[in-house]
C-alpha cells in the first residue's frame, strides 16, 4: 500500500508497518505498527493478542487506563466477531472449497482475504487440524448475548479489566448507600440540624445525584464488562 504494508506470517500473525520511518531530512517520522496473533483454541473460538508499537504519543498512551482502552477495542471486536461468526457458517454451507461464492470481495484490500484463503486451502485443506478429531468444525450458533459476552471471554482473563470491574461495583454500592444515608439523615434531622429549605433541597439533590450516578454506573458496567448488543444498522 502507499503508506505501508501488511504481512501475514503463517500460521497466525498479522504484521503491519509503514513504508518509510525516516524522512528525507534524516529525522524520524511518526509511525506505528500493528502486530496481531489470532490463535485457534477450540472450534469456533480463537485467542486474539495484539500490540501497537509506535514512536509518538507514548506518554499519552501510558496515561490512559488499560481497561479503558480495552472497552474501546472490544466494541470493534464485537462488530468483527458477529460478522465473522455468520460468515464462516456461510462458507461451510457453500462448501469449504467454494468460499468465494458465499461473499463478495471486490476491493483491493480484499486481496488479503483471498491470499489467506488460498494459503488456508493449500496448507490446511480449508479447516483447522485439531489434535483431537472434531465431528463438526463449527459449534451451533448461540444466542447473541452468549456470542458477544465479554466477561468470560476477556474480563475474567484481564487483570486490568477485572480490577476496574471490582472497583466500579464497590463504587456503585457506595453511591447507593450514600443516597439512602442522606435520605435517612434528612428524615431524622429535619427541623433540627436541617432547618432551611436550601439545606433540605441540597440534601435531596445529593441523594438524587448519588442514586442517579449508581444507576448510570450499573448500566456502564453491564455494557462495558458483560454484554452490549451490537446492531450494525445503527452504526
Q: Which of 22-31, 77-86, 201-210 has the lowest mean pLDDT?
A: 22-31
Per-residue confidence band for 46, with pLDDT thresholds at 50, 70 and 90: confident
Name 111's Cβ contacts closer than 8 Å, sequence gap at least 6: none
Mean pLDDT of the chain: 83
Query: pLDDT tens, 4-39?
Result: 777 777 777 777 777 766 666 667 777 777 888 888
Within 10 angstroms of residue 14's Cβ, the number of other Cβ atoms is 16
Could you tell me if 48 and 70 are in contact, meaning their C-beta atoms sit under 8 angstroms apart?
A: no
Per-residue confidence band for 84, with pLDDT thresholds at 50, 70 and 90: confident
Mean predicted confidence (pLDDT) in 119-138: 81
pLDDT at 24: 62
pTM (2 d.p.): 0.79
Beta bridge partners of 28: 22
- Can you say whether residue 233 is alpha, beta or left, with left for phi > 0 and alpha for psi between -120 and 50 degrees? alpha
Per-residue confidence band for 190, with pLDDT thresholds at 50, 70 and 90: low
User: CA angle at residue 174 from 171 to 176, to 5 degrees?
Assistant: 115
How far apart are the C-alpha atoms of 96 and 135, rounded to whole Å?
15
Amino acid at each position: 500500500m502507499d503508506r505501508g504494508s501488511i504481512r501475514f506470517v503463517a500460521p497466525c500473525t498479522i504484521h503491519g508497518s509503514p513504508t518509510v520511518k525516516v524522512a528525507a531530512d534524516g529525522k524520524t517520522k511518526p509511525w506505528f505498527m500493528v502486530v496481531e496473533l489470532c490463535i485457534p483454541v477450540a472450534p469456533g473460538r480463537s485467542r486474539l493478542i495484539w500490540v501497537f508499537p509506535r514512536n509518538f504519543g507514548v506518554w499519552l498512551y501510558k496515561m490512559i487506563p488499560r481497561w479503558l482502552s480495552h472497552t474501546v477495542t472490544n466494541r470493534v471486536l464485537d462488530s468483527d466477531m458477529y460478522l465473522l461468526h455468520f460468515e464462516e457458517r456461510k462458507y461451510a454451507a457453500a462448501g469449504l472449497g467454494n468460499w468465494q461464492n458465499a461473499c463478495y470481495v471486490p476491493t483491493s484490500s480484499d486481496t488479503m482475504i483471498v491470499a489467506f484463503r488460498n494459503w488456508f486451502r493449500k496448507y490446511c485443506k480449508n479447516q483447522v487440524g485439531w489434535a483431537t478429531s472434531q465431528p463438526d468444525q463449527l459449534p451451533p450458533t448461540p444466542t447473541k448475548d452468549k456470542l458477544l459476552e465479554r466477561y468470560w471471554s476477556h474480563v475474567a482473563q484481564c487483570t486490568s479489566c477485572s480490577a476496574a470491574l471490582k472497583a466500579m461495583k464497590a463504587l456503585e454500592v457506595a453511591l447507593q448507600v450514600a443516597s439512602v444515608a442522606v435520605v435517612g439523615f434528612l428524615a431524622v434531622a429535619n427541623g433540627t440540624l436541617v432547618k432551611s429549605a436550601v439545606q433540605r433541597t441540597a440534601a435531596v439533590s445529593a441523594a438524587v445525584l448519588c442514586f442517579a450516578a449508581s444507576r448510570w454506573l450499573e448500566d456502564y458496567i453491564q455494557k462495558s464488562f458483560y454484554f452490549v448488543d451490537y446492531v450494525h444498522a445503527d452504526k
